[in-house]
Amino acid sequence: MSLDYSYANSGICVAEVNLSSPSQSHSETDKITVLYSDVLLSDKKLDTIPRILGLIDKILEVYDEYKPNVIVREEAFVGKSSTAKGVLYAHAILELETYNRNIEIIDIHNATLKAYCRKYLTEKAFYTKEELKQFDKKQVVAEFLKAYFSSDMPEIYTKRGRLEDDKCDAICLSIYYKEKML
């Protein structure tokens, strides 16, 4: 299970990794299957702690349903000082909840994830570095997912065509975990 976790909303992905050999070595036949992906929203009407706990409850419901081996989470990232307190509280409370339930959680830095996507696109999807400059960070991850799954990935867009970047990051975290950490 992977999370692009934050105070306001969280991208979540549950993926199944099927390795081609029992030795856990990677090959082109290894598969990752997305079983579930979504963006979970926190309740803006609630105060900070109840708001965070409500979002964590939703995440743990998904965890309990799928029973993944590990949670891979994008490290805390604060874009604006006004959101710092909520983001840091959210990460601390999630850390406590996973610790209390003996759930392994692995953090991956945002820059590491984006660099992985760019490298994949230049090495395996035949994009040039100049072509990648036309995309913002969110679009780079979307292009990576399209290349990785050889699909237009309609599931990463809303019905109105807006990119669900939190969902993209969560799916990408699962791929990164499979490719770089297993």
Q: What are the residues whose beta carbons fall under 8 Å from the beta carbon of 64, sequence distance 6 or more? A: none
Give me the pLDDT at residue 71, please: 97
At residue 77 the predicted structure's pLDDT band, cuts being 50, 70 and 90, is confident
The pTM assigned to this predicted structure is 0.92
Please give the pLDDT value at position 31: 81
Asked whether the predicted pLDDT for residue 160 surpasses 90, the reply is: yes
> Could you give the C-alpha distances from 147 to 12, 49, 96, 117, 152, in angstroms and in order?
20, 39, 36, 10, 8
Q: What is the pLDDT of residues 20-43, one digit of tens each?
A: 655 444 455 568 999 999 999 999
- Confidence band for 80, pLDDT divided at 50, 70 and 90: confident
**Residue 29: its pLDDT value, please?**
56
| pLDDT digit string, tens, across residues 85-117 | 888 999 999 999 999 999 999 999 999 999 999
Report pLDDT for 20: 66
Element (H, E) at 131: helix 129-132
Structure confidence by residue, pLDDT tens digits, 43-72: 999 999 999 999 999 999 999 999 999 999
pLDDT at 138: 95
The DSSP output letter for 49 is: H
Residues 117 and 137 sit within 8 Å (Cβ to Cβ):
no
What confidence score (pLDDT) does residue 157 get?
97
Counting residues of the chain whose pLDDT is more than 90, the rounded percentage is: 84
